[in-house]
Structure 1
Amino acid sequence: MGSGLLIQKFKKYLEQHQDDIKSIKQFKTWFNTEQCIEREEVEKVVMSLYQTILYNLSLNESPFTFEEQKLCVEYIIMEELYENIFATKEEIEIDARLIKQIILMQKIPISKYQVSQKIINDQNWNRSKDLLIEINNFKTPTEKINSINKCFRNIIYHNNITLQMSCDEILEILTYLIVQCQPPMLYSNISFIRKCCFDLTSENDYFLTQLEICVQLILQYTPGLPKKYDENVENKIINSPPISSASSQLTF
């Protein structure tokens, strides 16, 4: 069953279970009245809401599997609360700075990157760019991270063959991809996934971490200076799963 049809059937089912989801309206009112909400508070609130609704629904017989309910509940919550919790003022400001840095880095020739021309010429490359841009069109963290997953897989699994790439090569390829496609609200989308996605697989966590590192690299880029990492980026690289001992010597 496609996700669109699944959501439609789930909404129909909820027409007889409005009491089970009334907490969404209560939380929306709370979000609208709070002047400032810390990131940690958002995580707690959304997680609490998510668990409460799933529990309420579990008390009734349902035609949906638990995994289907999780997906649908996430969609229902974000349909109501997305505008309240996506992109804080600070995140929007960072995104604006990120776009300026991306435009600046577009002047760097491809020869400065460790990127195979074969990968860039492949049709999967253009699809990867589209997938990275498309994450801003989705409202649920699951849809966003799935798009990121597909983006990475298009690059790493070339013609159904896993490419042997170092951490540096993956970072440079992904950085070049970001610079080329200039995805909107990338920082805010990453932050949103971190705040509201509670079922990250180890693979998706790895992909998201690599994306976070690239964003930090771009934000730190200064023309003419060798690449240096601040402590935050260095820690992300060192602790990045599954390449736990990775180090990096990227220069542009």
Structure 2
Amino acid sequence: MIACLVLSTLCALVLSRRMLLGIVSSLDDIAKVAHVVRRDRTFGLRVPSAPIAELHELSNDFNGLLDELEAWQAHLKQENDSLTHRATHDSLTGLPNRAFFEGRLSRALGDIQPTEKLAVLFIDGDRFKEVNDSYGHAAGDAVLTTIAGRIRAQLRESDLVARLGGDEFAVLLAPVHSTEDVLQIADNIIDCMTQPIILPNDEAVTTSLSIGIALYPEHAVTPQGLLHEADDAMYQAKHRYNGGWRLAIQK
């Protein structure tokens, strides 16, 4: 009788200890995951299955909450990325806008090596107002998107084209090793506009571009200075030389 009582007591102690260890281990798993979530603000970890039914249900509920938080975090990131893109890109052409271009130009000037050059091209459409007035704004939009795509196709992977507004575009060529390389790209941009542009009404129009070119460090050493010199050279190309490209005057 006493032996049975002792054996029962030992069994109860062993079982209770195993249950206690299971409870402690499961709660420790939850605590570890919660700590990582709080510290790193990441929701990718999950609590392992627990041996006790009640704790297993708690772990599942905790993992379900993490699933919802992870989905919410991904959605929030997607929304933030979308807002950032809309704030820094032109809605019509999909190109970066002036603010994005100026920021990229500032960083490029900070990263440029002593043996390298940098070029800014200021590009303006010729007779764009005539297209708008004659065919309507939908036609004007088609011309702008075509110009944007054709300019981008002439550039290297490291270069950048942005829409500044209206029919004005800017190109950043960085790095470049010679003025001749820059002028060749400008020629390519001019030449790519010789093909007619098909409008939404299936009519075709041909337009051209005027380009002003400013080089760092020959013409200016600041973002504003380079854009100003390139803009002035573009004006000279458009109004004094009937289009094409013009290089800024070295100061």
Q: Same fold (TM over 0.5)?
A: no
Larger radius of gyration: 2
TM-score interval for Structure 1 and Structure 2 normalised by the shorter chain? under 0.3
Whose helix proportion is higher, 1 or 2? 1
Whose strand proportion is higher, 1 or 2? 2
Flag the structure with more relative contact order, 1 or 2, with Cα contacts below 8 A and sequence separation at least 6: 1
